[in-house]
């Protein structure tokens, strides 16, 4: 796996699992409230199974407050012909878990980072302060994967961010800052995320609290 699974968009009774592979693969998520009894979900595009190196699977109909276990399975596609398809080896991720918030919950902990500007050492130093914190979700509040020039560059720091906060077990919101809309890969950056409501601006509930995500200007200080 090029990028291990990370959780996105925990809204409307669902959550999105994303990951990347280094070669074209099919992608499936196994999930359930027990590791011994899990169902499978995959992404269909106009009735066809989605495949490639970027994987995004939406899990819907989840119950708030319940602990869910999941893992992803990627199977390499060696040949994708019109009448014959050849599949290769499979890779299975570690078993992880997550819990969606109950609408009645009033207490939670969120970790917010912003303006990291791809400074790895700064991020690592900050992560040392949250090792003993039991947080429910994480927000990267803009200018973190800044001025992206290529998919490889953006993915490299995305992996660092996901690993630092344990994004395979707690959902992460990546918010677009004014520096995320600069650079050759700025238009491709959104493919790495699943935004709530499908837009870079949105709103979501966590327990009894409402969060609003606004869209920044490309130039600081301008509306």
Which residues is 138 bridged to in the sheet?
A: 111, 172
- Local confidence band at 41 (pLDDT 50, 70, 90 cut-offs): very high
* Higher per-residue confidence, 125 vs 200: 125
What's the whole-number average pLDDT of the chain?
93
pLDDT of residue 221: 47
pLDDT of residue 105: 84
pLDDT of residue 100: 93
89-127 pLDDT, tens digit each: 999 999 999 999 888 888 999 999 999 999 999 999 999
Over residues 202-216, mean pLDDT: 89
**What does the block give as tokens for 3?**
């990028």
**What does the block give as tokens for 196?**
């709530």
Over residues 190-216, mean pLDDT: 90
Choose among 162, 170, 128: nearest CA to 145: 162
134-169 pLDDT, tens digit each: 999 999 999 999 999 999 999 999 999 999 999 999
Which residues is 3 bridged to in the sheet?
A: 20
Q: Which residues lie closer than 8 Å to 111 by C-beta, 6 or more apart?
A: 130, 133, 135, 137, 138, 139, 165
């Amino acid at each position: 796996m090029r990028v291990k699974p990370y959780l996105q968009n925990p809204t409307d009774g669902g959550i999105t699992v994303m990951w990347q592979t280094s070669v074209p693969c099919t992608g499936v998520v196994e999930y359930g409230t027990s590791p011994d009894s899990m169902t499978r979900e995959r992404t269909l595009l106009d009735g066809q199974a989605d495949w490639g190196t970027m994987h995004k699977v939406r899990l819907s109909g989840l119950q708030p407050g319940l602990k869910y276990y999941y893992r992803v399975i990627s199977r390499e596609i060696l040949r994708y012909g019109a009448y014959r398809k050849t599949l290769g080896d499979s890779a299975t991720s570690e078993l992880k878990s997550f819990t969606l918030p109950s609408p009645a919950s009033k207490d939670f902990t969120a970790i917010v980072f912003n303006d990291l500007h791809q400074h790895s050492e700064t991020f690592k130093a900050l992560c040392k302060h949250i090792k003993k914190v039991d947080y429910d979700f994480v927000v990267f509040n803009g200018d973190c994967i800044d001025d992206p020039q290529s998919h490889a560059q953006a993915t490299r720091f995305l992996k660092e961010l996901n690993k630092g906060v344990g994004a395979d077990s707690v959902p992460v919101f990546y918010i677009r800052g004014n520096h995320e809309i600069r650079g050759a890969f700025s238009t491709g950056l959104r493919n790495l995320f699943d935004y709530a409501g499908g837009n870079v601006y949105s709103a979501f509930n966590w327990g009894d609290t409402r969060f609003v995500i606004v869209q920044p200007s490309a130039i600081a200080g301008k509306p």
